[in-house]
Amino acid sequence: MTPGRIGIVAVAAYALSSVPARSATIQVVIDKLVFAPTEVTAKIGDTVEWVNKDALAHTATATNGDWNAVLAPRQTGRVVLKKAGAVDYFCKYHPNMKGRVVVTP
């Protein structure tokens, strides 16, 4: 990566997410026992942030065991993505709640 390209990426990331790094934060909202959007795409190093609007506790639990975010009522939880691949996840308390994170390198 040339110095010029690093500069562009850094500026772009800063402008888009206000996180002073290359990583982005992708938000998933939980409302009335639904993950929305159901599927998100992210890059390695990005963070997925689940905003739980329900008064109920939920989890975002990867079916492959890679990560597990416990989401207390009306709280937010985060996971930093470390591996590429498509990961299905669900809520341990309400397994009919399902979502998917597609992580690209």
Partner 1 sequence: MIARLSAGAFALCLLSVPAFAQGAKPTDPQIAHIAYTAGQLDIEAAKQALAKSKDKEVRSFAQDMVRDHTEVNKQALALVKKLNVKPEDNDTSRALTKQAAAKRAELAKLNGSAFDKAYVANEVAYHKTVNGALESTLIPSANNGELKSLLQTGLKLFQGHEQHAEHVAADLK
Half-sphere exposure of 94 (CA within 13 A, CB side): 15
Cα–Cα distance measured from residue 44 to residue 33, given in angstroms and rounded to the nearest whole number: 27
Determine if 79 is a binding residue for partner 1 (CB under 8 A).
no
Determine if 78 is a binding residue for partner 1 (CB under 8 A).
no
Determine if 57 is a binding residue for partner 1 (CB under 8 A).
yes
Q: What x/- string results for residues 1 through 20 when contact with partner 1 is judged by CB under 8 A? A: --------------------
Partners of 85 in beta bridges:
103
Cα–Cα distance measured from residue 80 to residue 94, given in angstroms and rounded to the nearest whole number: 23
Q: What x/- string results for residues 16 through 45 when contact with partner 1 is judged by CB under 8 A? A: ----------------xxx-----------
